[in-house]
Structure 1
Amino acid sequence: MRHEDIWRAIDALAAEHGLSASGLARRAGLDATAFNPSKRTGADGRARWPSTESVAKVLHATGTGMEAFASLVTGAPALPRNRTISARRIPLIGLAQAGGEGYFDDGGYPVGGGWDEISVPDVPDPNAYALEISGESMEPVFRDGDVVIVSPGAPVRRGDRVVVRTRAGEVMAKQLLRQSARRVELASLNPAHPNYSFDLSELAWMHRIVWASQ
């Protein structure tokens, strides 16, 4: 086991929950800089391990078991560690604007010339796009003005943060509570906002959020 494997797993865990590394640290009650690249190397240039306490806190904060974390240590990261700003540009649109016609095809992939662009981490999905959050329904995880990266190709599982579009044209960012053969239940993280329940036939598509500015 190498230092870089542990740090890669922390980056992947953050991406799994739609967070940056600093966002993950804050959620775990740690200093926001705890997982910064500068903290991964000592003053003498030697690689540093994250503390056992830090790892335990992020696992608890995300509801992740040791077995799942171990698979991240040995597997590929959800997003690369090298987040060079110029690595890639993807389409960007505001969440409120996304409900309009002409921005997505029938499969939920970005189309048309009305999109802006943003430089982002190198997301593996070639169809990934970015949305600027509007409103307060997903606070404190996503705040008004935060940018989230959405991957149409990423598998969606219970507990994931997702973007859904209804067949009526409404686009919203929520957390997937559960999905059955007939219905989908979605949560607003802000308790002041309602949860939603839809028949699958009411949804055009549902895509997973894989990264967020924090």
Structure 2
Amino acid sequence: MSTLGDRVKGEREARGWSQAELARRVTHAGYSITQGGIAQIERRGDTEPKSIVQLAEALGVSVNWLQTNRGDKHAGGTGLSAEAAMPEAGRRRMRELASAPAVRTGLNRSGPLQIYASAQGGSEGAMILSNEPVAWIPRDMRLEGVREAYGCFVSGESMEPAYERGNLLLVNPAAAVGPGDDCLFLRETADGTRYVLVKRLVRQSATAWTVKQYNPAKTYTLARKDWQKAHLVIGKYNRAN
């Protein structure tokens, strides 16, 4: 079975590119990398690089295929428009929620909630959100009347045990945030890629967010010029067991 490094090398060679040429294209896609960095990726087997999304874009393949060797190889570049980009637990939970009776789940069916797929791929453990919803589920009553509300799946482990891989986060982007709130911090790049971090807000200033995570325990700052928005996480649906 091929490794991630094998797939990168195979796709690069199929295009007749040198490692330096692939590095140039990945850098152009938004992640600065050298020829030596590409060589390391090809040598390191299935160790996922931080540049996974830009690699997939440069090679014209889906992130999901590059990560797992499964699914549609050419599913729209990042591959985040498909349910396959979600954690398996998240996919099960989405199917459960979509079919659950509203009276039993405490959900309001007056308007569905948009759900975005996520995949690991940014710096600092950031997730990348799909640009379009991949599903719609019955709206939680706590988000009734919030037109911009959405849900997204956790694909990392930095906030365990509070938020685990596969949990579905319920997000209210219209609410004000303050110290002690769990937030989804958003960074949007010029090409429209949306990076998010799930963190606990400790304090904020005009120039920075001070945040903390649990796994590993760490408190640090995010520059507001980079992480422009903080959306309030009002709850979660636990992953399916």
Match of 1:160 among 151, 169, 181: 181
Change (3 A) 1:95 1:195: farther
Counterpart for residue 50 of structure 1: none
Counterpart for residue 92 of structure 1: 115
Change (3 A) 1:100 1:153: closer
CA distance in 2, matches of 1:132, 1:166: 17
Counterpart for residue 106 of structure 2: 83
Counterpart for residue 141 of structure 1: 162
Report sequence identity in percent: 24
Q: Which amino acid aligns with 1:206?
A: A
Change (3 A) 1:167 1:93: closer
Describe the SS at the equivalent of 2:225. Answer: helix
Q: Does 1:199 align with 2:231?
A: no
Alpha-carbon deviation of 1:120? Answer: 3.3
Structure 2: where are the runs of 5+ without partners?
1-104, 121-126
Q: Which amino acid aligns with 2:128?
A: G
Say if 2:158 and 2:214, in contact at 8 Å, map to a contact too: yes
Summarize deviations over 1:100-141 as a string: whole Å, max 9, x none: 57x2xxxxxxxx4x4321223121311100011112111111
Matches within 5 A, 1:1-214: 83-84=106-107, 86-96=109-119, 99=128, 103=131, 112=132, 114-122=133-141, 123-124=143-144, 125-168=146-189, 169-190=194-215, 192=216, 194-214=218-238
Bigger RCO of structures 1 and 2 (CA < 8 A, at least 6 apart): 1
CA distance in 2, matches of 1:154, 1:127: 10
- Greater strand share, 1 or 2? 2
Query: What is the CA RMSD across the aligned residues, in angstroms?
Result: 2.4
Alpha-carbon deviation of 1:195? Answer: 3.9
Q: Which amino acid aligns with 1:91?
A: Q
Describe the SS at the equivalent of 1:201. Answer: coil
Say if 1:187 and 1:194, in contact at 8 Å, map to a contact too: yes
Summarize deviations over 1:62-100 as a string: whole Å, max 9, x none: xxxxxxxxxxxxxxxxxxxx8236354111123327625
Structure 1: where are the runs of 5+ without partners?
1-81, 104-111
Change (3 A) 1:134 1:90: same
* Runs of 4+ off more than 6 Å: none
